[in-house]
Amino acid sequence: MSELNVFDKNFLLLLHLAKNCGLDRSCRLSTLKLSNEFGGSQQTISRKLRELEEAGLIERFPYSSGMELVITSLAKKYLKTYLNQIQRLFDEPELIGSIVGKVRSGLGEGAYYVSLSQYMKQFREKLGFTPFSGTLNLEVNEVEFQKILLNLTPVKIDGFKTRKRTFGSINCYRVKIKNYNRAVLMIPKRSVHKGNVVELIAPDVLRDELNLEDGDELKIDF
């Protein structure tokens, strides 16, 4: 299990630890104290602490009546990512534009590229989620779409090289679809698609999440 998955699974406990200890100092705790404060059995708390420690999110040092605990820099990075995501929910950014596209089936190219570890690591770090290894393709009006892009600042996913080939960079744009706000529109520097076809990624299967079939119209807000 990756450190991000462990973080997601134990987020509330890690937040409780951070509130008790602070982010830049250690504190002394016991599983009994945590069990009383946070809830759950001491065995459950011990298991969760072990998962956090093995993932590099906390460090523990035993002493006579408990443990000394430190929140690591990796945990602080993930906590800050969550803070930024939550803050965006309350900022209510001004709507830059909208576009309507039609759902189309792809050739499976998106699933291959999204699943590459060099891209996947950057998606987690820069977008804050692990995407489903596949994309939702939409056919849009290319002229209208390019006008909207002029007013957007992308999150850039860097390209990389292997022994056999070079993989280009990807520009990503956060979008909102209906009430779903975890989708990201991505535009690879090198793409097999024409300019009127865009690809969406998300931590969920968008076709299932939004109940979509080929030919359905979908509105994207930027």
**CATH code of the domain containing 42:** 1.10.10.10
Domain annotation covers residue 103: yes
Domain boundary among 80, 115, 144: 80
At residue 193, does pLDDT exceed 70?
A: no
Domain boundary among 18, 50, 80: 80
Q: Are residues 122 and 181 in the same domain?
A: yes
Domain annotation covers residue 89: no
At residue 106, does pLDDT exceed 90?
A: no
Q: Are residues 102 and 153 in the same domain?
A: yes
Domain boundary among 29, 46, 80: 80
Q: Are residues 135 and 162 in the same domain?
A: yes
Q: Are residues 123 and 47 in the same domain?
A: no
pLDDT of residue 194: 67
Domain annotation covers residue 56: yes
Segment 18-28 mean pLDDT: 90
* Cβ contacts of 184-192, under 8 Å, gap ≥ 24: 184/127, 184/131, 184/155, 185/220, 186/135, 186/157, 187/149, 187/154, 188/113, 189/159, 192/107, 192/109
> Is residue 93 very low, low, confident or very high in pLDDT (cuts 50, 70, 90)?
low
* Cβ contacts of 148-151, under 8 Å, gap ≥ 24: 148/96, 148/97, 148/99, 148/222, 149/173, 149/187, 151/96, 151/97
Q: What is the CATH number of the domain that holds 103?
A: 2.40.30.30
Mean pLDDT of the residues in the chain: 90
Contact 114, 134 (CB under 8 A): yes
Domain annotation covers residue 92: no
Domain annotation covers residue 88: no
pLDDT of residue 94: 63
> Is residue 199 very low, low, confident or very high in pLDDT (cuts 50, 70, 90)?
very high
Q: Which residues pair with 39 in a beta bridge?
A: none
C-alpha 46/C-alpha 211 separation (Å) is 41
Q: Are residues 43 and 107 in the same domain?
A: no
Assessment of whether the complete model's pTM goes beyond 0.75: no
Q: Are residues 107 and 38 in the same domain?
A: no
Contact 77, 83 (CB under 8 A): no
At residue 89, does pLDDT exceed 90?
A: no
At residue 179, does pLDDT exceed 90?
A: no
Segment 40-54 mean pLDDT: 94
Q: Give the residue numbers spanning the domain of 26.
A: 3-80
pLDDT of residue 108: 76
Q: CB within 8 A of 67, min separation 6: which ones?
A: 28, 29, 30, 60, 61
Q: State how many domains the chain has.
A: 2
- Distance of CA 17 to CAs 32, 68, 70, 85, 107, Å? 14, 11, 9, 20, 46
C-alpha 222/C-alpha 172 separation (Å) is 12
Angle between helices 11-21 and 73-91 (to 10 degrees): 110
